[in-house]
Each structure stands twice: as C-alpha cells, then as structure tokens.
Structure 1
Amino acid sequence: MWTTGAEQVEQAVAECVGVLGEVAGRDWTGVRAGRLEWSCRETAVHIAEDLIAYAGQLAGRERDGYSPFELSLEEGSDNAGALRVIASMGALLAAAVRTAPREVRAFHPYPFRSANREGFAAMGVAEVLLHTHDIAEGLGITYEPDPALCGFVLTRIFPHVQPGPTPWRTLLWATGRGELPGRTPVTEWRWSNNLVLDSERLTLQGVTPAAATDLSTVGDGGFAWLDGGPAEGTRVGAGLVYKQYEDGVHRPEWGMYVLVRREDGRALGAMGFHGVPDEAGRVEVGYDLVEAARGHGYATEALRALSSWALARPEALVVVANVEPGNLPSQHVLARAGFTRVAEDPEHLTYELGVSGDR
C-alpha cells in the first residue's frame, strides 16, 4: 500500500527517542557525535531543527527559499528535554505530510529546488536515522533502525544509489558513514528529490524507484489516475526504471515522468527516456496516455517540454523516437512536436529532434 511517509516519520522519531532516552542522563555536550564536528547535544538539536524546518517548508508552501525562523531550546533544558522537542517536531512534520495535498511542492535546494510531501518525509526520516546513528556512535551504544525505514529513504531520495546487501548498510555507505564491499568509499554526497517539469496544462513529475516499483505491479505509484489508469505501457516502463535502479545505472532525470493535469491533479500517462544519452548524444524517448486523455494534445505538449529540457543539457544532442508504422496518432504527435522522420524498417519508423544552432 502506498504511503506518503507520515507514518515513517513517526516511527523513525519514536525509535530515536526510545534509543537515546536510555542514555539521556549521560554527558552529551562533551562528546563528539561520531564522525561529525558537532557534539551529541548539538546533533540532537539539529535533528529537531531539521524536522521543524521541513514541516515549515511544507505547511507554509514556501516556494522561493527557506522560511526565516530558527529553533532553540530553553536555557537549562536537559537531554530529556531535547528528546521531547524532537518528538514534538516530528509530530509536526508528520502532520504537515498528512495534510499537504498531493501536488504541493516547496523549496529545498537539492538538487532541483523543490520537494513534494514524500520528499520532505524521506528527508526528515534520513536526518533522524543518520544523526541518531551519529549520536549513538559517539556514546558507544548500539542503534540499527528498521530496514523498512532505510528502504523508504533510499527509494525516494537516493535513486542514483544501487541497492546493497542491506538497506541500513547501503544508507550508511551512501552518506559517508560506512563501507560496502566492491564500492569506493563516499566522501561527498547529496540526496536527490525528483525533478518536475512544467508545461502549460501539465506537470511532468519524475518517478522515484519507490513509485516505479508500485506502478510496475498493480499500484498507482502515489498518483490519482484518470480513467482507471495507468496504461500497460506505463507499467512496463516503470518496471524498466526499477530494473535500472537495481542495476545501479538509473539516473533519475533521464528516467520516467508521470504526466499530471494541473486543473484536477489527475495523472494522464507517462513519458520518459530509455536511459542516459549515448556517446553520440542520442537519447530515446517513449510515451503513452490513458485512452480518455488522447486526442487533446497532452502528449504533444509534454513531448515538447521534455525534449526542450533534454536538448538544453550538454550531454544531449538528439532526441530519438521509434514508433510502429501503423501507429498514426503517435506519428502525428511527433510531427507536431517538431520531430522529423529519418529512417524506417518493417517494424519501426524513426523520428529525431536535434539541437538547433550553436549552444
């Protein structure tokens, strides 16, 4: 069953407060938190700061920057008090995630300057898991979160990280806190929220590995579909996205996008790339719509937006589409989007759209 992440925020915070509550009577101020430069006390306050910051961004619908406020504990608050604040701030983030409409996005810099409710939930869970680990390491106590929480984080904001032997070990490696056999140690890292592209009537919303897994079976991927969708082509494409993720070759901005209609938030279909551009700068695109959305120009509009985005990237020189000779509607979409037919064989017609002029 699809989740927006509120329950995961609550679980992560409960585990954090439970583990650290056992050692709240110890000195946290004079002890460094794992590999961080902060003390355990400073790190605990940072967890609370992140939780309320994400809640504020999402609840306030902040679009252009961070909401200008800071959190501080009352003078004289002990470690147990800090944990109470973490619990309260976690409850506020969970509430913000639960009440935010599906289409709301708010500012966060990494890497495309916005995140949706699931993204903020995943970032909040990541902060709790990782910094609880840092504090526990500093204090010399054992902490290992529920693997499902780690999987929730990895499949939403670490789409570029190949799954490893266990979700927790993979998350620690991906954030420079551990090692994995056969992988180079990580020294710099950032998570990645999904990319969203805008057109006149649509938003093209990047599909995370979590959504791809759900869409590839019988789920809705967290979207409200028109006409009982998604179509079979979307489910097949989602399966390919998840296979790329498992193989460690998924690059989210060169993956799949669900087409969502602005006027009612309904998902109409999907469009995306078969992979990253090749050495010659060629990248292939594919798409489909639910039947009720066809004939209204949505595919043409989305293809123009996605192709324009791709050809503005230095690694892409040509967008390619292959269609069956009998698929006249798809051929008309390509022609209206500016593509030119360049080749044909008994099974496919090949269309291309290239970079115009110098970049």
Structure 2
Amino acid sequence: MWTTGAEQVEQAVAECVELLGAVTGRDWEGVRAGRLEWSCRRTAVHIAEDLIAYAGQLAGREQESYAPFELVLEEGAGNADALRVIGTTGALLAAAVRTTPREVRAFHPYPFRSANREGFAAMGVAEVLLHTHDVAEGLGLAYEPAPGLCDFVLTRIFPHVRPGESPWRTLLWATGRGELPGRPPVAGWRWSNNLVLGTERLTLQGVTPAAAADLAAVGDGGFAWIEGGPVEGTRVGAGLVHQQYEDGVHLPEWGMYVLVRREDGRAIGAMGFHGVPDAQGRVEVGYDLVEGARGRGHATEALVALSRWALDRPQVRTVVANVERGNTPSQNVLARAGFARVAEDPGHLAYELREPGEG
C-alpha cells in the first residue's frame, strides 16, 4: 500500500528515542558524534531542528527559502529533554505530511529547489536515521534501523544510488559513513528530490524509483489517476525505470514523468526519456495518455515543455521519437510540437527536434 511517509517519520523517531533514551544520563556534550565535528548533544538537537524545519516548510507552503526561524532548547534542558523535543518535532512533521495535499511543493534547495510531502518525509527520516547513527557511534551503541525505513529513503531521495544487499549499509555508504564492496568511498553527497516541470495546464512530475516500482506492480504510484489510468504503456515504462535504478544507471531527470492536471490534481498519462543522452547528444522521448484525456492538446503541451527542457541541457543536441506508422494521433502530436520526420521503415516513423542552430 502506498504511503506518504508520515508513518515512517514516526517509526524512525520512535526508534531514535528508544535507543538514546537508555543513555540520557551519560555525557553527550563532551563526546563527538561519530565522524561529525559536532558533539552528540549538538547532533541530537540538530535532528529536532531538521524535523521542525521540514514541518514548517510544508505547513507554511514556503516557496522561496527556508522559513526564518530556529529551534532553541531552554536553558538547563537535559538530554532527556532533547529527546522529548525530537519526539515533538517528529510528530509535527508527521502531521504536516498527513495534512498536506498531494500536489503541494515547498522550497528545498537540493537539487531542483522544491519537494513534495513525500520528499520532506524521506528527508526527515534520513536525518533521523543518519544522525542517530552518528550519536550511537559516538556513545558506543549498536544501532541498525528497520530495513523498510532505509528503503523508503533510498527509493525516494537517492534515485541515483544502485541498491545493495543491505539498505542500511547502502544508505551509510551513500552518505559517506561506510563502505560497500566494489564501490569507491563517497566523499561528497546530496540527496535528490524529484524534478517537476510546469506548463499552463499541467505539471510533469518526475517518477521516483518507489513510484516506478508501484506503477509496474499495478499500483497507482502515489498519483490520483483519471478513470482508465494508468495505461499499459505507463506500467511498462515504469518497469524499465525501476530496472535502470536496480542496475545503477538511472539518472532521475532522464526518466519518466507523470502528467498531472493543474485543475484537479489528476494524473492523465506519462512521458519521459528512454535513457540518458548518448555520446552524440541524442535522447529519445516517448509518451502515452489515458484515453479519456486525449484530443485536448495535453500531450503536445507536455512534449513541448519536456523537449525544451532537454534541449536546454548542454549534453543534448537532438530529441528523437519513434512512432508506429499507423499511429496518426501520435504523429500529429510530434508535428505540432515542432518535430520533423527524418526517417522511416516498414513499421515506424522517426522524428527529430534539434536545438536552435542545428542543421
């Protein structure tokens, strides 16, 4: 069953509070938190700071920057009090995730300057897991969170990281906190929220590996579809995206996007790339719509936006598309979007759209 992430926030916080609650009588201020420069006490407070910051972004619908406030514990607050604040701020983030509508996005800098409720939940869980690890390492405690929590984080905000046998070990490696056989150490890292592109009537919402797996398994991927959706082509494409993720070759902005109507937040189809641009700067695009959404220009509108975005990338010179010879509606979409027919075979027609100035 699809989840927005509120339950994962609550579970991660509960595990953190239970583990560290057993050692509140120890010195946290004078002990360094694992590999961090911070003390265990400072790191615990930082967990609460992140949780309340993410809750504030969602609740306030912040669009341009972080809301200008900070969390400060009262003078004399002890380690047990710090854990109480982690529990409270975790509850606030979970509540914000539960009550924020699906289509709302709020400011976060990495990497595309916004995240939805699921992204903020995944970031909150990541902060709790990783910094609980740091504190536990500093205090000499054994800690390994539930695998499902790690998988929740990896499949939503680490789409570029190839899965490993252990989700926890993979997350530690991806954040410079551990090693994985056959993979080089990670020196610098950032997570990656999904890219969303806007048009007049639509948003093109990047599909995470979690959503791709759900769509491929006959779920809805966390989207509210119009009747008849998603269609089989979307499910097949989602399966390919998830396979790329498992193979470690998925770059999220070159994957699949679900087309969502602004007027009602309903998903009407999907569009995306078959893979990353090749050495010649060519990238192939494909798309489909639920039958009830066809004939209204949505595909053309989305294709213009996605093609323009691709041609604005330095590694792309040409967007290509291949359609069946008998698929006249799709051919018309390509023509309206400015594509030119460049080749054909008995079964298919090939179209191209080049960057301005390209012959």
- Say if 2:323 and 2:349, in contact at 8 Å, map to a contact too: yes
Q: Does 1:314 align with 2:314?
A: yes
- The residue aligned with 1:183 is 183
Q: Counterpart in 2 of 1:241?
A: 241
Distance of 1:275 and 1:63 partners within structure 2: 31
Q: What letter corresponds to residue 271 of structure 1 in structure 2?
A: M
Asked if 1:78 corresponds to 2:78, the answer is: yes
**Corresponding letter in the other structure for 1:230:** P
Which runs of structure 1 show a deviation greater than 2 angstroms over 4 or more consecutive aligned residues? none
* Contact preservation (8 Å) 2:33, 2:136: yes
Deviation by residue 1:132-162 (Cα, 9 ceiling, x = unmatched): 0000000001000000000000000000000
Tell me, in whole angstroms, the C-alpha distance in 1 between the residues paired with 2:11 and 2:165: 23
Q: Deviations over 1:15-42 (max 9, x none)?
A: 0000000111100000000000000000
> Whole-Å Cα distance in 1 between the matches of residues 292 and 168 of structure 2?
43
Return the alpha-carbon distance in structure 1 between the equivalents of residues 298 and 19 of structure 2.
51
- Cα RMSD over matched residues? 0.5
Counterpart residue number, 1:260: 260
1:51 aligns to what?
A: 51
Read off the aligned partner of 2:312 and give its amino acid letter. Answer: A
Matched, 1:201 2:201: yes
2:270 alignment counterpart = 270
Q: CA deviation at 1:348?
A: 1.0
Tell me the secondary structure at the aligned position of residue 93 of structure 1. helix
Secondary structure at the aligned position of 2:30 is classed as: coil
- Other-structure match for 1:6: 6
In structure 1, stretches of 5+ residues that fail to align are none
Task: Determine if the alignment matches structure 1 residue 157 to structure 2 residue 148.
Answer: no
Letter in 2 for 1:349: L
Q: Secondary structure at the match of 1:121?
A: helix
Matched, 1:297 2:294: no
Q: Secondary structure at the match of 1:343?
A: strand
Partner of 1:173: 173
Alignment partner of 1:41: what SS? Answer: helix
Q: Does 1:281 align with 2:278?
A: no
Tell me the number of residue pairs that the alignment of Structure 1 and Structure 2 aligns.
Answer: 358
CA contact (8 A) 2:9 2:121 kept: yes
Deviation sequence 1:85-130 (CA, Å, 0-9, x none) = 0000000000000000000000000000000000000000000000
Contact 2:147 2:167 in 1 (8 A): yes
Structure 1 residue 218, shift from structure 2 partner: 1.2
Q: For residue 130 of structure 1, what is the aligned residue in structure 2?
A: 130
* Counterpart residue number, 2:24: 24
Cα deviation, residue 354, structure 1: 0.4
**What are the within-5 Å matches in structure 2 for residues 92-131 of structure 1?**
92-131=92-131
Q: Which amino acid aligns with 1:119?
A: G
Question: 1:292-339 deviations in whole A, cap 9, x for unaligned?
Answer: 000000000000000000000000000000000000000000000000
Q: Distance in 2 between matches of 1:217 and 1:140?
A: 42
Q: Offset of 1:347 from its aligned partner?
A: 1.7
Identity %: 82
Residue 228 of structure 1: how far off its partner (Å): 3.1
Counterpart position of 1:67: 67
What is the distance in 2 between the residues matched to 1:316 and 1:200? Answer: 24
Q: Which runs of 5+ in 2 are unaligned?
A: none
CA offsets, 1:259-312, max 9 Å, x none? Answer: 000000000000000000000000000000000000000000000000000000
- Please, what TM-score do these two structures have when normalized by structure 1? 0.99
- Is the 2:255–2:272 Cα contact (8 Å) retained in structure 1? yes
Aligned residue for 1:36, secondary structure, equals coil
How much has 1:357 moved relative to structure 2? 2.4
The aligned residue for residue 91 of structure 2 is 91
Deviation for aligned residue 1:227: 1.2
Q: Which amino acid aligns with 1:122?
A: A
Question: How far is the alpha carbon of 1:2 from its aligned partner?
Answer: 0.2
